[in-house]
Structure 1
Amino acid sequence: MSQSPKNKMTTRVKRIAGQVAGIERMLEEKRYCVDILNQISAVRSALDALGVELLTRHLENCVLGQGTDSQHESAKPMSQQALLDEVKTALSRFLR
């Protein structure tokens, strides 16, 4: 049985939290700097993948799904221009 998208994202977040805790342990253990940097890179990559997944789901459910049965229950009713502006703002923040 496959996990729901929400459960998959929760699992990803828990894995990322574990990676961050691992970085903390590595610092406490005074591990080799390059090893710590590699772990930081892995966390960044995992966060980017989570962000892409969230953005994709937002576009599917909150933007394209606006006014349909697939609309997310928390989606705010917005005009197309307001939706576009919101996506542009979210993208600009995400891509920093």
Structure 2
Amino acid sequence: MSHTTAGKDKLIARVRRIKGQIEGLERALQAERPCAEILRQLASVRGAMNGLTAEVMEDHLRGHVLDAETPAARRQGGEEMIDIIRTYLK
């Protein structure tokens, strides 16, 4: 079972909170709120996304690298993580 399936409800709740933050950001832009307020909201959204990303990355490492059943599965999980990190850091 995938770690995202096991923690699905918790992950979906986090995504919904982020969605609410994005919608709040959109409303603030539509209302022409001050740029400092917009920047604070952007920082909050970024922090929430980084936290979610870190959680899923950690779960991936634990489930598909540290606790992998075979050396081949461990290698595949590690290679996937390398690709993800490269994409994330672009």
User: TM over 0.5, yes or no?
Assistant: yes
Residue of structure 2 equivalent to 1:32: 34
Structure 1, unaligned stretches of length 5 or more?
69-77
Query: What is the distance in 2 between the residues matched to 1:36 and 1:48?
Result: 18
Q: Could you state the TM-score of these two structures normalised by the residue count of structure 2?
A: 0.80
Alignment: residue pair count: 85
Residue of structure 1 equivalent to 2:20: 18
Q: Could you state the TM-score of these two structures normalised by the residue count of structure 1?
A: 0.76
Query: What is the distance in 1 between the residues matched to 2:35 and 2:13?
Result: 28
Structure 2, unaligned stretches of length 5 or more?
1-5
Query: What is the distance in 2 between the residues matched to 1:67 and 1:61?
Result: 9
Residue of structure 1 equivalent to 2:83: 89
Instruction: Give the superposition deviation at 1:44.
Output: 0.4
Matched-pair identity in % = 35
